[in-house]
Amino acid sequence: MDHIHILSSIILSSLLTFSLTIHPVISTSKSNLEEQQPVAIDVSPFIRIYKNGSVERLLDTKVVPPSFDPKTNVESKDIVYSLEHHLSVRLYLPKNTNQNRKLPLLVYFHGGAFIVGNASNPAIHHFLNSLVSEAELIAVSVDYRLAPEHPVPAAYDDSWTALKWVASHVNQNGPEDWLNFHADYKRVFLSGDSAGANIAHQMALKHGQKEKLEGLMINTTFKGMILCHPFFWGNHSVPGETETEYENNRAWGELLWKVACPNSSSGVDDPWMNPGKDPNLGRVGCSRVQVFVSEKDYLRERGWYYAQKLRESGWSGDMEVVEYKDEGHDFHLANLTSKNSVDLRRRIVSFINHY
């Protein structure tokens, strides 16, 4: 059975009970694919899945090349970390950094509900240029395989492979000199937005459960984790979330997860999607966590709930949750110069530079 038939049989059969109009289509013109093939599952504004198994991505498809950014004085370049899956990371470094200077290392995972997005996305690229300049750090932005062609846990597996690749530079003998000479491996931070924040959490949890990163001691912990509008969900409402609010978004959250992880036996209560159901939550392998939520984001209460459950889990680190009024999901990527976007980056800089 070829890949297209596998995609059709697994993804399409798992969604038979869902309406194909749960979320409105925002496109006013039909694509070439839509003209040729009927739509089986419409997950607008993210993707459409056609009856022949093909996938059309509607959001976050733009890319920008790595470059020197004169506004921030930051350089970037792309390096392959997985030959098997043709995956790259994008590295960021302040230009003219002294050869012997060690900088905090931020490993960043992009969002997109596990089904869209990439490390070369313009919004991510410009955000990291600004953050690298303001925090004076080196950043690694990770590309990973997307569902539904590559269902979760492919994104987790790729992200772990990327972390092992980064860790191979600890003794200054890895393949990339920026990481050999400028990364301070005693100041490593994980971060991401939306699904990328979910991935960052899973990477910290995996490391905290004594999964060994090549080049790092087993008892090494990450310095901190920064989660922007984390993509979590569950089968029930959480504190602060009315039943009406939950029901208004329930089908959408379930649909996104079914497309991303069709083989999950517990649906949105899978610990990958609902950390409150994870008996190992207290083993998150970092000492400090910063969570950003927004008032107008339907995932707002999930961020607060994550912080609550992590505190209750026996995890002994420091937690900070910051909420922004009158803002929506990933607002900090949409407008880098707004007052709240500038404040969010300022808080991240303070979090990273607090020793």
Run of H or E including 157: helix 154-167
Report the 10 Å Cβ neighbour count for 349: 17
Q: Along the 355 residues of the chain, how does pLDDT read in single tens digits? A: 455 444 535 354 545 444 333 333 333 344 565 566 899 999 999 999 999 999 999 999 999 999 999 999 999 999 999 999 999 999 999 998 898 899 999 999 999 999 999 999 999 999 999 999 999 999 999 999 999 999 999 999 999 999 999 999 998 999 999 999 999 999 999 999 999 999 999 999 999 987 777 666 444 569 999 999 999 999 999 999 999 999 999 999 999 999 999 999 999 999 999 999 999 999 999 999 999 999 999 999 999 999 999 999 999 999 999 999 999 999 999 999 999 999 999 999 999 998 6
Contact between 229 and 294 under an 8 Å Cβ cutoff? The reply is: yes
CA nearest 157: which of 114, 216, 121? 114
Q: What does the DSSP 8-state code read for residue 62?
A: -
Rounded to 5 degrees, φ, ψ at 311 are: -65, -40
Tokens at 317, concatenated: 């680190």
Q: Is 77 helix (H, G, I), strand (E, B) or coil?
A: strand
Q: Before 153, cis peptide (omega within 30)?
A: yes
Cα distance between residue 275 and residue 200, in whole Å: 12
Contact between 275 and 310 under an 8 Å Cβ cutoff? The reply is: yes
- Amino acid identity of residue 270, one-letter, is D
Taking the mean position of all CA atoms in its chain, how far away is CA 114? Answer: 8
Q: What residues form DSSP beta bridges with 76?
A: 92
Q: What residues form DSSP beta bridges with 190?
A: 107, 225
CA nearest 170: which of 136, 214, 207? 214
Give the per-residue pLDDT at 2: 54
Give the per-residue pLDDT at 16: 46
Q: What contacts 24+ positions apart, CB below 8 Å, involve 333-340?
A: 333/123, 333/124, 333/127, 333/193, 334/123, 336/126, 336/127, 336/130
CA nearest 205: which of 152, 261, 278, 265? 278
Domains detected in the chain = 3-57 (no CATH), 68-352 (3.40.50.1820)
Give the per-residue pLDDT at 188: 96
- Beta strands 224-228 and 183-193: pairing type? parallel
Q: What residues form DSSP beta bridges with 55?
A: 49
Q: Is 141 helix (H, G, I), strand (E, B) or coil?
A: strand
Rounded to 5 degrees, φ, ψ at 318 are: -100, 140
Sheet holding 68-69, edge to edge: 68-69, 74-82, 87-94, 138-142, 103-109, 183-193, 224-228, 288-294, 318-324
Cα distance between residue 241 and residue 248, in whole Å: 11
CA distances to 90, 142, 144, 145 from 87, in Å? 10, 8, 7, 8
Tokens at 19, concatenated: 């309406």
Which one of 14, 76, 120, 194 is the catalytic residue? 194
Give the per-residue pLDDT at 354: 87
To the query of whether residue 194 is one of the catalytic residues in this protein, the response is yes
Write the CB contacts of 325 (distance below 8 Å, at least 6 apart in sequence): 295
Give the per-residue pLDDT at 220: 57
